[in-house]
Amino acid sequence: MKILDKKVLAEREPRIVYLEVLAEEICKAFKPGQFVILMVSEVGERIPLTIVDKNLKNQSISLIFQEVGLTTKLLGRLNKGDGLYSLVGPLGNPAEIKNYGRVILVGGGVGIAEIFPLARAFKEEGNHLTTILGARNKDLLILEEDLRKMSDEFYITTDDGSYGRKGFTTDVLKELLESSESQGDRYKLIYAVGPIPMMKKVSEITQRFKIKTLVSLNALMVDGTGMCGCCRVSVGGEIKFCCVDGPEFEAHLIDWTELSLRNKIYEDKEKHICKLYKLVT
Amino acid sequence: MKGPVKIKELLPSERIRSFEEVALGYSEEGAQEEAKRCLQCKEPKCIQGCPVGIDIKKFIFEITQRDYKSAYLTIREKNNFPAICGRVCPAEYQCRKFCILNRNKDKPFASPEAINIHFLERFIGDWGIKNYQNLTFKIQNSKFKEKVAIVGSGPAGLCCAGELARQGVKVVVFEALHQLGGVLRYGIPPFRLPRPILDFEINYLKSMGVEFITNFIVGKTKPLSELEKDFSAIFLGLGAGTPSFLGIKGENLGNIYLANEFLTRINLMSAFKFPQFHTPINIGEKVVVIGGGNTAMDAARSSLRVQLGQGLKPDTTVIYRRTEVEMPARRLEIEHAKEEGVNFEFLVQPVEFIGDERGFVKKIRALKCKLGKPDSSGRRKPFPIEGSEFEIEADVVIIAIGLKANRVLTSATPQIQLDKSGDILVNPETMETSLKKVYAGGDIVGGEGTVISAMATAKKASQSILNLLSL
């Protein structure tokens, strides 16, 4: 649980931070799409984070997160040599990786970190890979070069137009799907990871084109082993647990409205504790 | 004949200001007086009511002789954790029900006249903790070179670990969470089971050489097949970790908790100390708990405490489909809940949750029920009355209607045979699963039960493991 390396990938707040963490067992068992649950300290929360990569030589895994809540802020304060209080995983089901043919990956914000292991795995299976990355601005864009190298086609959008095309990932997605439709060169899978509104929009677009679409959800969790039910989400009218049934689900079956409401259950408390924390530090 | 001796308890008004233990147990004189009420039956029936077969008559007699050490050893011969079981055993449904002094012939639980066996057990368990230094248990010099893996550190896992360690077997316990104890840690609140008691029992196992590994999920961190290579035998005490739902509309609205989540946030993550502890919990002005078991009582009583802790007027109501007699909870918990101010509404069945514009629950639509004939559980079955619909205001709802098998290990291990409800199939004689040298016990076998019944199956498995290793 010792931190072997740390890099700040995006300096502008909310910062995006990369950590390489010693995890002898987890690194051996990890498959793309899986996550860990960690605690920064004894008084901390248990939060889920997607595993971005493994390094078997170092017996480590790498994590990338944005400092959006108290726990991620505290995590971002740790340095090389520090230890986590607890780390468990790999949790969740591995992503459904196989040769689909033509695949589009859509990554938004810190969700790009989760796209990274998927891109490599899809490429290894011989898929034709189109990657669309989106960030609020140039400074918050991560892993651009790594993903560019793996992709057959590559697009970048920023909300403010400070880099790449001004606009949203979904704008590019829509155009690609429209032109492929007219050329009869269909995409077989769309995989999206990012903020809920982005994934919801992706789902709406691809539903029109009737293309299989998978998303990796980042629901609130406590134990991560199917025990508490905090991470429940409605998929095809059934209750599923993000931790043990997911985190990957068919986008078209998800009740997105419910999911976004459930992810805001503790918004007030989060704001409160972040404010308090600012006062004392 | 003297009446039953009461235990000391915190006053209800004091209790709900903290998570301190409510039942304070017997003084020595109290224990003496209660023990002397025991008739020392020639053919005692109480023992058959004990899932692990403690020689109840003997230990009570030893109490009357003030020979507490012998009483402690008598209990420990069958039960590794007297201080825990003395606190959480539903004795009125077990040993006390068979007590000759029990006057409730027509109810599923014993009347107050039955000897307070559990309180006496607790008295002795606590005596053992205090006098631990002076008690030496013979730990067999290890004739075993083999190692045994135990998956899960709840009641079954701890019990199996203790039984094996006593015989000198090297035991490694794997726990998924960051703390040990399973349901004893995340589920049962400290006002029923103070954490120092649990820590004592776990440290005791450590002193016997048991190794504990936390943050390790067998089936995820490592497959069971890997463990099979490294260990001579494996015991699975996975527990009933999957919560059940009502299956009605609106169940995923904000602030509708499953009891497991509500209790885990409080017990494991100390959310009642937010923001010193960082895990949040939402409490409301009107909390409704659905269910009639111990978990429902734990959730309701925890809710009162959190309400008060956050400056709200305690207002928590339990709604249950049947009536008080059919409630599966321990009678003491029901009494304690009432004394503390929990409201009860019986013969009520929720049919829908209604939310506000932000997606948080605000009301429950419910039907009144009447009781029919007894069902397969022997309890009278509730029937909703047509046209009896009404609404209950609630800004936090806690669903406590039972648990099913934990699926993490079994879904990652398709070769292990399960029954229809997802529990692990075992040979009831040996507790061996369909996988050779892999045993199971506790709630993952046969479904949700009590701490003591989990221990009973774990003990049986430990005996089979010892037999296996002795070959």
Q: Answer whether A229 sits within 8 Å of B216, measured CB to CB.
A: no
Question: Does residue B369 carry a pLDDT above 80?
Answer: yes
Q: Indicate if the alpha-carbon torsion angle B326, B331, B335, B337 is positive or negative.
A: negative
The CA distances from residue B401 to A1, A241, A262, B349, in Å, are: 37, 18, 22, 12
Which residues is A91 bridged to in the sheet?
A35
Residue pair B187/B263 in contact (Cβ under 8 Å)? The answer is: yes
Q: Is the peptide bond before B275 cis (omega within 30 degrees of 0)?
A: yes
The answer to whether the CB atoms of B260 and A229 lie below 8 A apart is: yes
Asked whether the beta carbons of residue A45 and residue B269 sit closer than 8 angstroms, the reply is: yes
In degrees to the nearest 10, what's the CA dihedral of A20, A23, A29, A32? -20
Residues in chain B closer than 8 A to A266 (CB atoms): 280, 282
- Alpha carbon distance B374, B376 (integer Å): 7
Residue-level pLDDT at B444 = 94
Q: How far apart are CA A210 and CA B365, in angstroms?
A: 38
Mean pLDDT within A215-228: 94
Residue B92 has pLDDT above 70, yes or no: yes
pLDDT at A86: 97
**For chain A, how long is the longest CA-to-CA vector?**
60
Q: Give Dmax (Cα) for chain B.
A: 70
| A window 27-86, beta carbon within 8 A of B | 29, 39, 43-46, 70-71, 85-86
Q: CA A165, A171, A174 angle in degrees (round to 5)? A: 135
Residue A180 pLDDT greater than 70, yes or no: yes
Distance CA A100, CA B265 (A): 42
Model's pTM, two decimal places?
Answer: 0.94
User: Considering only A107-111, A172-176, B371-375, which range has the smallest mean pLDDT?
Assistant: B371-375
How many angstroms separate the CA atoms of A67 and A9, rounded? 12
pLDDT score, position A50: 95
Average pLDDT over residues B392-408: 94
Is residue B196 pLDDT above 70, yes or no? Answer: yes
CB B358, CB B383: distance < 8 Å: no
Question: Per-residue pLDDT for B138 more than 70?
Answer: no
What is the DSSP-derived secondary structure letter of residue B205?
A: H
In tens, the pLDDT along A59-77 reads: 999 999 999 999 999 999 9
Cβ distance of B243 and A229 shorter than 8 Å = yes
pLDDT of B142 strictly over 70 = no
Q: What mean pLDDT do residues B81-98 have?
A: 93
β-bridge mates for residue A7, sequence order: A18
**φ, ψ of residue A12 in degrees (nearest 5):** -70, 135
Q: Is the pLDDT reported for residue A281 higher than 60?
A: no
Q: What is the pLDDT of residue A279?
A: 57
Q: Identify which has the larger pLDDT, B449 or B5.
A: B5
Give strand pairing partners of B82. none
Q: Give Cα B79 to chain centroid, integer Å.
A: 15
Choices 2.60.40.1120, 1.20.1440.230, 2.40.30.10, 3.40.630.90: CATH for A3-91 = 2.40.30.10
C-alpha separations of A51 from A19, A116, A118, B126 in Å: 10, 10, 11, 46
Evaluate if residue A238 carries a pLDDT over 80.
Answer: yes
Q: Residue A85: pLDDT above 90?
A: yes
Report the percentage of chain B scoring pLDDT > 90: 86
Given an 8 Å threshold on Cβ–Cβ distance, is A222 in contact with B264?
yes
- Average pLDDT over chain A reads 94
Q: What is the DSSP string of B277-302?
A: SS------SSEEEE--SHHHHHHHHH
Helix (H, G, I), strand (E, B) or coil at B369: strand
- Residue ranges and CATH numbers for the domains of chain B are 8-134 (1.10.1060.10), 147-241+406-470 (3.50.50.60), 245-401 (3.50.50.60)
pLDDT category of residue A276 using cuts at 50, 70 and 90 = confident
- Closest Cα of chain B to A266: distance in Å? 7
Substitution target from B221, B360, B448 for chain A, most A beta carbons within 10 A: B221
Residue A280 in this model has a pLDDT that exceeds 70: no
Q: Report residue B275 as tokens.
A: 């923001």
C-alpha of B155 from chain center: 8
> Across the interface, do B278 and A90 touch by the CB < 8 Å criterion?
no
CATH architecture under which domain A102-262 falls = 3-Layer(aba) Sandwich (3.40)
**What does the pLDDT read at residue B374?**
85
Q: Measure A255 CA to nearest chain B CA, in Å.
A: 11
Residue B326 C-alpha from the chain's centroid: 19
Q: Are B343 and B368 in contact (CB under 8 A)?
A: no
Instruction: Decide if B115 contacts B107 (C-beta within 8 A).
Output: no
Element containing residue B76 per DSSP (H, E): helix B68-78
Instruction: Give me the pLDDT at residue A185, please.
Output: 75
Q: Determine the pLDDT at residue B166.
A: 86
pLDDT at B164 over 70: yes
Q: DSSP 3-state assignment of B243? A: strand
Q: Do domains A3-91 and A102-262 have the same CATH topology?
A: no
Model pLDDT, residue B447: 85
The 3-state secondary structure of A131-177 reads EEEEECCHHHCCCHHHHHHHCCEEEEEECCCCCCEECCHHHHHHHHH
Mean pLDDT of A106-110: 96
Kindly list the residues of chain B whose beta carbon comes within 8 Å of any beta carbon in chain A. 176-178, 186, 214-217, 220-222, 241-243, 245, 251-255, 257-258, 260-261, 264-265, 268-270, 274-280, 282, 358-360, 406-408, 411
How do residues A189-214 score in pLDDT, each as one tens digit?
A: 999 999 999 999 999 999 999 999 99
Query: Is A228's CB within 8 Å of B258's CB?
Result: yes
- pLDDT for res A53: 96
Domain boundaries defined on chain A? 3-91, 102-262
Q: What is the pLDDT of residue B470?
A: 85
